[in-house]
Structure 1
Amino acid sequence: QLEQLSDRHQASLRKLSRSEKRIDEQLEQLSDRHQAVLRKLIDAEKRVDEQLEQLSDRHASGLAKLRELEKLVDDEMEQLWSWHAWGVNKFEEIEKQIDEKLQTLGSESTLCP
């Protein structure tokens, strides 16, 4: 009986050893997969950071361009208002001259028989 018990014990130990070996192999595979996933995640994070930096740069550049355009529009509007004011003044001058000539013509026509 002791010999049978010893044989069964040895068989159980061999079985346990094989199970431990399989578990160790599976743990190693899981560790390798985990490392691969971590590397991919780190690479993806780097790409996202680079893209965010590029977007930030483009955004800053776009804002600078927008400010330039706003200044150009403001300058153009100021010039247009200036021309408009000049045109209104010129029109009023011409209108005044016409009124003066009409008055002169009207007073001359009253002098004529």
Structure 2
Amino acid sequence: YPAAPQRFSCFGFDDVNAALAAMRFIHASTPPTELYLRVYQLESRQLPRRSELRPPVRSSPCDCGFVGNQDDEDENFLAIARAMEEIVDDRVDCYWLIRCFVNQFKHKFGDSIPHL
């Protein structure tokens, strides 16, 4: 039984990945961290229009300044994704942990983010 949610999760992740590729938001050489960002944006209904799409800002791994606008939110997500990618090998598990961490962080500290 425990394998069933993992299989479903993997299929769901692959379906979203295929949809993003079909919409040309990602391609074969898209870094995993950017893939996780686009999947998260699609799931949270924040995926920008194709014409507004810019590559995410790539800052140093130590630059974790949590501030307010969408570019900063994307960079915060990518910083968390880079750290999680160092810890977790499986891409589905990695995305799930990133998503849970980001959602929990927003829920707990959302009002304080500009002050952190």
TM-score range, shorter chain: under 0.3
| Structure that is richer in helix per residue | 1
TM-score (norm: length of structure 2): 0.21
